[in-house]
Amino acid sequence: MNTEFTQDWFSQNIPIWQAIIGPKKGNAINALEIGCFEGRATCWLLDNVLTSPESHITCVDTFHSDEELKDIDFGKVKERFIHNTSPYGGKVSLVVDTSENYLRHTAQQFSLIYIDGSHMAPDVLTDAVLAHRTLEKGGIMVFDDYLWTGLGKLVRSPKMGIDAFLDCFGHLYTPLSIGYQVIICKK
């Protein structure tokens, strides 16, 4: 497959994903990815985990710039996502919308949720709370960028939002990994 990627913010996560999510390979999995950018994580999941014909991934992204990515042409990012995921056909659904709007209105249930959209703590908390109701028992939720401090203020990084979610909902989850990513399993 001839993929086109300009950034690689994902490959360092492959070892932990292979260990924790990899064993689900071949199972029928309905996955949700919040913040898909060019589709690098999406393609990895489709190639390495979502291999069952019944597996599907819904990717939600606004493809709009924010302060940390203001110099990126998100029209081209969206084109690359579509190009990179087109070989997978109907196994991928792209929703161009805010994660909050999507999560408030979806009736779908997911067995895997990857939260990697906005880095603003309130947005991450909102995504997590809304995603919680859509995650099946035994499902895995992955938060990216837990240790990221790129914009220098705690409220402008995911950690505060993730911690607030875990403070309120942590008793309903089993932690699987806490590092640059936080991976939890719904009890």
Residue 71 lies in a domain: yes
Domain around 117: 28-186
Q: Where residue 91 sits, what CATH number does that domain have?
A: 3.40.50.150
Q: Supply the pLDDT for residue 1.
A: 65
Residue 7 lies in a domain: no
Residue 144 lies in a domain: yes
In angstroms, what CA-CA distances link 86 with 3, 34, 53, 112? 10, 18, 16, 21
Residue 109 lies in a domain: yes
Residue pLDDT, tens place only, 103-126? 999 999 999 999 999 999 999 999
Residue 113 lies in a domain: yes
CA distance 79 to 133: 31
Concatenating the DSSP letter of every residue in 74-111 gives HHHHHHHHHHHHGGGGGGEEEEES-HHHHHHH----EE
On the question of pLDDT at 165 being above 90, the answer is yes
Residue 2 lies in a domain: no
Residue 173 lies in a domain: yes
Residue 18 lies in a domain: no
Could you give the number of structural domains in the chain? Answer: 1
Comparing 9 with 171, which gets the higher pLDDT?
171
| Strand 173-178 relative to strand 135-143, pairing | unpaired
